[in-house]
Amino acid sequence: MSPRIFSRKSWPAALATVIVTAVGASMFMAHAPSSAQAPAAAPVVRGLPDFTELVDLVGPSVVNIRTLERASASGAGAADEQMLEFFRRFGIPVPPGVGPRGPRQERGQGEERPRGVGSGFILSADGLIMTNAHVVDGADELIVTLPDKREFKGKIVGADQRTDVAVVKIEATGLAPVKVGDVNRLRVGEWVMAIGSPFGLENTVTAGIVSAKQRDTGDFLPFIQTDVAINPGNSGGPLINMRGEVVGINSQIYSRSGGFQGISFAIPIDEAVRVADQLKANGRVTRGRIGVQIDQVSKDVAESLGLGQPRGALVRGVEANSPASRAGVEPGDIILKFDGKAIEKSLDLPRLVGNTKPGTRSTLSIWRRGAARDLSITVAELEPDKPEQRASAPEGTKPQAGVAAQSLGLTVAELTASERENLQIKGGVRVASAEGAAARAGLREGDVIVGVANAEVANVRQFEAVVARQDKSKPISVLIRRGEWAQYAVIRPAR
């Protein structure tokens, strides 16, 4: 999600009343007689934190980054730095003529013009700077301004779009690097501070608390959520704890209006440093891949498969000739562990695999047809996503409406040889029509059912036999293929 930026309101006056009330209550309790039945005293709020020392400590390490681009021959009108970043970050086309030069005024071809503004912070005394990839993306030139007003031209060492992390180098020495903190020690409710250049206003300080950790807003990053005010130009600046350590890079916000609504996201610094180390060494980031498309495991699916609590990553598809395919992973498998590390949510898997060096031999623990098993897999290097391919519709098969299938609201048909070949499956039945309970479960014409209640089905006869053995008063799980994707559906009896 792209960063969105807002302004911060002042703290409500009611907070002072809460503080006074809490302190007054503690004074009363100090003189009250003790009682075994008296409840334990709540923690006393003694006042708001003082950020002045943190600003003095970290402020000299925070920089302003201006990006420039060369005007094209078309002579499109220029936008000012703040408005241009707003339009770019939210995917809105820049209106012609927007900017300080007024409508219909054009710049000469090749002339540099402001493109955006952002923030960054110093990683090393010799001029390495960390920021967001979206801050420097597409820039023809970078101007880095230090807090002492010195300006340097910046060179992009490397940028990683997947994590939105970039490293910039300036030719300077004797700079003040930040101190990197331990994200594992960061606690929800803890005070944090941000320094950046919102709307081009350099060295602006805002503060708030950690609202949540491990927020899933991307494939490779569990974000830190805060209520610190983040606005256009704050992107790439540091999130700082009360010990003066950088714990994150301010990167994104959530908004329905385009204005600050109290929800900001920061990239955890440990993840960012891991990416930055690769960018410094190689100029790019290499990640592992195993070649599966995955989804969350719902509560209904977990219960119907005997898994208990919903956990793991449901394999919806397996790429041909991928590490997963060679290891024997099948659509419908649920991956529970990778190299012994538990997969609690589906997004845990790409993070663990992505952080694994290509060529590493690893172990997948999977759940298949009611039992756990381990598979050995060799991790490959992540490649660009392949376009989705859909199987052609089968022809020449006659739908059959057996008694068991009808009880679920289904009419099914045998698969053709070409369909089995296209889907790379040994057997199954095609859904000719879905009504009643099956339709409510999300099944539709063209789906291919390859499993029922943890049992494989190769043809219509076997499908009828498996369904006939099930208790019709209880939900029944079915594993279906829809094109190259696999998913579970739970058919519930009508009540």
How far apart CA 275 and CA 282 sit, in angstroms, is: 11
31 part of the active site: no
For 344, list phi and psi in degrees, rounded to 5: -80, -40
407 part of the active site: no
How far apart CA 378 and CA 327 sit, in angstroms, is: 8
How far apart CA 392 and CA 396 sit, in angstroms, is: 13
CB 132 within 8 A of CB 236: yes
Beta-bridge mates of residue 226 = 210, 264
Catalytic residue among 61, 119, 134, 447: 134
164 part of the active site: yes
**Integer CA distances (angstroms), 322 to 63, 207, 379, 483, 487, in order:** 44, 47, 9, 18, 20
β-pairing, 62-70 vs 264-268, is unpaired
CB 111 within 8 A of CB 258: no
Catalytic residue among 61, 119, 160, 164: 164
Catalytic residue among 61, 119, 211, 235: 235
CB 284 within 8 A of CB 158: yes
Range 428-433, long-range pairs (CB < 8 A, 24+ positions) = 428/457, 428/458, 428/481, 429/457, 429/459, 429/460, 429/463, 430/394, 430/397, 431/480, 432/399, 433/399
* Single-letter code of the amino acid located at 168: V
Q: How is residue 299 written in tokens?
A: 């509560």
How far from each other are the two terminal CA atoms of the chain, in whole angstroms? 42
Q: How many CB atoms lie within 10 A of CB 248?
A: 29
Residues with catalytic roles: 134, 164, 235
